[in-house]
C-alpha cells in the first residue's frame, strides 16, 4: 500500500513539537550522564538525501548537551593526501572516546551515495566499500562502541519544496551547492544507490533504522525516541552542586561597575 503524503494540516505544530522535544532533551542529558558514569561511547551516523533534515535533527540532539562531551563531525571533501589513504582512515580519529557522543552529519557512507552517483569514485571502489563497511563497523561494535545508523527518508516532491525554500531564503542559501543542483536530476539514481547500500550494510551487528522525515518535526522526535530506547537503564545518580554560603553580604554591581571602595576612618 502506498503511504499517504502528509499535508500541511497533518504536520506537527511548533508548540507541540517544542514541548515534546524539551522532555526528550532531559532524557538525552540522562544518556550523557550515563555515558560519563560508565565510560561507554556513542556514535550516531545520520544519512539521507539532500534536504532530508540531517543538520536539524543533529542540532536538536546536541542543543542542550555539553559541547565538550557531544561533538558533531561533518567532514569536508578529502584532501589530496586523504584520497590516497584507506577510505575509513580519516573517520577513525573522530570516533568517540570514553563518555563521549559523536554525531556524524554524513559519514563514511558518502562513498555509497554521493561519490557513487556523482562519479567521484570507481565502481570497484564502491564494491570494496560495501564489502568493508560491515567489517569496519563490527570491529567498532565489538570494541564496545554503541553505533547507531539512521537514514532519513524524504519524497521527491518534499525535497523539491525544500530546495525552493533554500533558494528563496538568503539565510539558508549557503546550504545549496553545485552538487545539490546536479543531484536534483538524479533522484532515482540516489534511490538505487541507497537500496544497494542498505542491502549490503544492514547487519545484525549494526542495523539501519529508516525514519520518515517528510515532516521534519515528527521525524526528529521519532529518531530521538529510538536513540533513547537503545540505551537501557540509563539513569545514574546525579551529583548535585551545592552552593555554600559566602559568609558575607553579596556585592551588588550595576552594569558591570564594581561598588565604590569604603574609605578608612581617619
CATH number, domain with residue 75: 3.40.50.300
What's residue 262's pLDDT? 63
**Spatial contact of 113 and 9, defined as CB atoms under 8 Å apart:** no
Has residue 209 been placed in a domain?
yes
Of 22-26, 135-139, 184-188, 250-254, the range with the lowest mean pLDDT is: 250-254
233: left (phi over 0), alpha (psi -120 to 50) or beta: left
Has residue 248 been placed in a domain?
no
Residues in contact with 73: Cβ distance below 8 Å, sequence separation at least 6, in sequence order: 91, 94, 102, 103, 104, 105, 107
Has residue 262 been placed in a domain?
no
pLDDT of 215 strictly over 50: yes
**Spatial contact of 60 and 21, defined as CB atoms under 8 Å apart:** yes
pLDDT of 2 strictly over 50: no
Has residue 212 been placed in a domain?
yes
**Spatial contact of 41 and 96, defined as CB atoms under 8 Å apart:** yes
Region 180-191: mean pLDDT is: 85
Region 34-38: mean pLDDT is: 95
| Containing structural domain, residue 157 | 12-229
Has residue 116 been placed in a domain?
yes
Q: Estimate to the nearest angstrom the gap between the alpha carbon of 197 and the chain centroid.
A: 19
Q: For 109-129, write each residue's pLDDT tens digit.
A: 999 999 999 999 999 999 999
Q: What angle do CA 54, 65, 145 make, to 5 degrees?
A: 70
- Domains held by the chain: number: 1
Q: What angle do CA 72, 55, 180 make, to 5 degrees?
A: 120
Buried b (16+ CB within 10 A) or exposed e, 210-236: ebbbbbbbbbbbbbbeebeeebeebee
Has residue 42 been placed in a domain?
yes
Over the Cα atoms of the chain, what is R_g?
A: 23
Has residue 117 been placed in a domain?
yes
Has residue 263 been placed in a domain?
no
Entry pTM = 0.86
Separation CA 33–CA 10 (nearest Å): 36
Amino acid at each position: 500500500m502506498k503511504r499517504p503524503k502528509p499535508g500541511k494540516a497533518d504536520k506537527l505544530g511548533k508548540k507541540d513539537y517544542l514541548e515534546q522535544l524539551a522532555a526528550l532533551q532531559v532524557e538525552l542529558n540522562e544518556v550523557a550522564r550515563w555515558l560519563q558514569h560508565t565510560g561507554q561511547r556513542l556514535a550516531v551516523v545520520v544519512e539521507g538525501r539532500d534536504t532530508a533534515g540531517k543538520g536539524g535533527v543533529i542540532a536538536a540532539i546536541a542543543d542542550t548537551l555539553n559541547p565538550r562531551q557531544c561533538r558533531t563531525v561533518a567532514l569536508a571533501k578529502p584532501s589530496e593526501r586523504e584520497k590516497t589513504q584507506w577510505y575509513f582512515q580519516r573517520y577513525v580519529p573522530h570516533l568517540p572516546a570514553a563518555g563521549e557522543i559523536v554525531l556524524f552529519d554524513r559519514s563514511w557512507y558518502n562513498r555509497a551515495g554521493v561519490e557513487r552517483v556523482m562519479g567521484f569514485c570507481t565502481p570497484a571502489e564502491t564494491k570494496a566499500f560495501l564489502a568493508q563497511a560491515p567489517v569496519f563497523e563490527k570491529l567498532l561494535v565489538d570494541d564496545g562502541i554503541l553505533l547507531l545508523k539512521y537514514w532519513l527518508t524524504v519524497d521527491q516532491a518534499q525535497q523539491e519544496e525544500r530546495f525552493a525554500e533554500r533558494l528563496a531564503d538568503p539565510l539558508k542559501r549557503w546550504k545549496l551547492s553545485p552538487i545539490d543542483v546536479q543531484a536534483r536530476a538524479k533522484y532515482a539514481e540516489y534511490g538505487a544507490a541507497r537500496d544497494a547500500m542498505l542491502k549490503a550494510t544492514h547487519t545484525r551487528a549494526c542495523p539501519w533504522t529508516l525514519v520518515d522525515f517528510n515532516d521534519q518535526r515528527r521525524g526528529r522526535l521519532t529518531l530521538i525516541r529510538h536513540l533513547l530506547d537503545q540505551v537501557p537503564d540509563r539513569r545514574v545518580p546525579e551529583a548535585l552542586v551545592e552552593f555554600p554560603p559566602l559568609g558575607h553580604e553579596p556585592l551588588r554591581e550595576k552594569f558591570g561597575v564594581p561598588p565604590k571602595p569604603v574609605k578608612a576612618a581617619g
